[in-house]
Amino acid sequence: MMATQLKVGDRLQAVTHEVTEDKMVEFEKVVWDRGRNSHSDINVAKADGIQRTIASGQNQMAFLHEMMERNFGDAWVYGGKISARYIHPVYAGDHLTANGLVTEVAVVDGKPRVTLQIWCETQDGRKTSAGTASAGQPADARSWIDGGKQAAA
Amino acid sequence: MSEEATISKVWESIPVGDDLGTLDYVLTAQMVADYRRVVDNPHAAYPTVAARHPANLFYRKYAAVMRVPNMGHDSEYHNPPVAGKRITISGRIADKYIRRGNTYLIVEATAVDEDGRLIEKSRLVGLAREVGMQAAHANIAKKWGT
C-alpha cells in the first residue's frame, strides 16, 4: 500500500511525550556528557539566572524528529530538513506534543517536496518551539530500521 | 543599556569562518540504544545528532571564554549513522549577529562516516555569553517568567 500523499492543510500524526526530571538528566549524559549544566542541575540553572532546570532544546528536537520519522519514513531520514527555534522553556512534568501542518507541496529539482510548519506545545497549548521542516512525499520504507522490508506503520 | 554596552570583546574577536577543526568518535550500539531509550523512540534514526556536534566543536576551542546556549537549530539529514562506524565532524563559525541587544553565534558542523557517507549538517543558533559575565539568557528567563 502506498503511503498517503500529503496536501496543503494536512496535519501530521502528532507525537506526545512526558518530560521528566530523570529523563532530562539522563538526556544530558547520553547525548554528550559535558558535566553539570542548566538542563540537569538546579544550581547551574540558578547561576544562569533561571529558577528551574529546563529541558534541552535538543530534547524538543528529538520529539520533532520522531514525528517526522513516523509520518515520512525514508523521505525524512534521507534528505529531510528542519529549522526550529526554542521560544519557551520546557520543564519536568510537561507533556510535550510535536505537531506539523503542511503549508506547501512543490516540485523541487524534479521531485515533490512537502514543506511544513512544525512546533512543540505543552499540555496547556503553550508553544515551546516553532519552525519549518521539509521532506519528500511520505514513503512506506523504513530502511534505517530493517533495510527497507518494513512497510509504514 | 545601549546595545553597544552588551557586546563582549570575546564575541567581537571570533571571526565568521573561524575553523573549529575536526573531531571523531565511534558511534557504538550502546550509544544508539541509550539515546533511543532516553527519548522513548526505539527507532530514532539520528541518535547523536539531535545532538551536539556544533556545540562540542565550539566548546573544544572556546569553553574557557564563551558559552552558546542553544536557541535554535537548523539541520539537514542525508544518511542515518550506522552503529560501529567512526564519525568525523568538522565545524566553523558560519555567522554572527546582534539581535535585540543580544549577541549570537551560528556554529556549523558537518558529520561524515568512515565510508565517506554524509550523515548530516547542523547549525546551532547560540546566544553568546562570555564566561564570567551575567548570563545573557537571564534576561530571556525574565521574559519567560522563570
Contact A12, A71 (CB under 8 A): yes
Instruction: Give residue B143's pLDDT.
Output: 62
Note the pLDDT of residue B47.
84
Burial of A30 (0-12, 13-18, 19+ CB in 10 A): buried
A25 falls in which pLDDT band (50, 70, 90)? confident
- Cβ-nearest to B44 among A51, A65, A86: A65
pLDDT at A54: 85
Task: Give the span between the Cα atoms of B35 and B31, in whole angstroms.
Answer: 6
Nearest beta carbon to residue A58 from set B37, B52, B74:
B52
Position A146 confidence tier, pLDDT thresholds 50, 70, 90:
low
- pLDDT given for residue B133 in this prediction: 73
The shortest C-alpha distance from B67 to chain A (Å) reads: 11
A55, amino acid identity: A
Please list the residues that pair with B23 across neighbouring strands.
Answer: B89
User: Which residues of A are less than 8 Å from B127 in CB distance?
Assistant: none
Cα(B43)–Cα(B9) distance, integer angstroms = 44
Residue A67 and residue B64: Cα distance in Å, rounded? 37
Hey, is A77 helix, strand or coil? helix
A87-96, A120-129, A133-142, B5-14: segment of lowest average pLDDT:
B5-14
Chain B residue numbers touching A52 (CB-CB < 8 A)? 146
| pLDDT score recorded for residue A9 | 98
- Answer whether A86 sits within 8 Å of B141, measured CB to CB: no
ipTM: 0.88
Contact A62 B41 (CB under 8 A): yes
Distance CA A46, CA B63 (A): 19
Look up residue B21 and give its three cell numbers.
Answer: 577543526
Compute the distance between CA of residue B83 and CA of residue A62 in angstroms, rounded to an integer: 18
pLDDT (mean) for A124-145: 96
Res B49: pLDDT: 60
Q: What pLDDT is attached to residue A99?
A: 98
Q: What's the grid cell of residue B36? A: 533511543
pLDDT at A21 over 80: yes
Mean pLDDT of A103-124: 96
pLDDT (tens, 9 = 90+) of chain B, 146 residues, equals 444 556 888 999 999 999 999 999 999 999 999 999 999 999 999 986 656 799 999 999 999 999 888 899 999 999 999 999 999 999 999 999 999 889 999 999 999 999 999 999 999 999 998 887 755 556 666 666 66
Of B44, B55, B73, the CB nearest to A84: B73
Q: Residue B34, SS3? A: helix
- Which residues have CB under 8 Å from A59's CB, separation 6+? A19, A23, A24, A27, A90, B39
**Cβ of residue B138 closer than 8 Å to a chain A Cβ:** yes
A71, A53 in Cβ contact below 8 A?
Answer: no
**What percent of the residues of chain B are helix, what percent strand, and what percent coil, each to the nearest 5?**
25, 40, 35
Buried residues in A37-61 as b, exposed as e (16+ CB within 10 A): bbbbeeeebeebbbeebbbbbbbbb
Stretch 40-59 of chain B: residues touching chain A, C-beta under 8 Å = 40-41, 43-46, 48, 50-52, 55-56, 59
What 8-state DSSP symbol labels residue B134? P
What are the backbone dihedrals phi and psi of residue A18, each rounded to the nearest 5 degrees, phi first? Answer: -85, 140
pLDDT, residue B91, reads: 96
CA distance B132 to B130: 6
Top pLDDT among B24 and A42 is at B24
Cell triple for A74: 525514508
H or E element at residue B129: strand B129-130
Nearest neighbour of B45 by CB, restricted to A50, A63, A69: A69
Q: Helix axis angle, B29-38 relative to A21-32, nearest 10°?
A: 160
Residue A38 has which C-alpha cell? 542548566
CB contact under 8 A, B50 and A31: yes
How many cross-chain Cβ pairs, A to B, lie less than 8 Å apart? Answer: 122
The per-residue pLDDT for B144 is 63
Best interface-test mutation with A: which of B28, B49, B75, B130 has the largest number of A CBs within 10 A? B75
State which of A20-34, A41-55, A117-131, B23-37 shows the largest mean pLDDT: A117-131
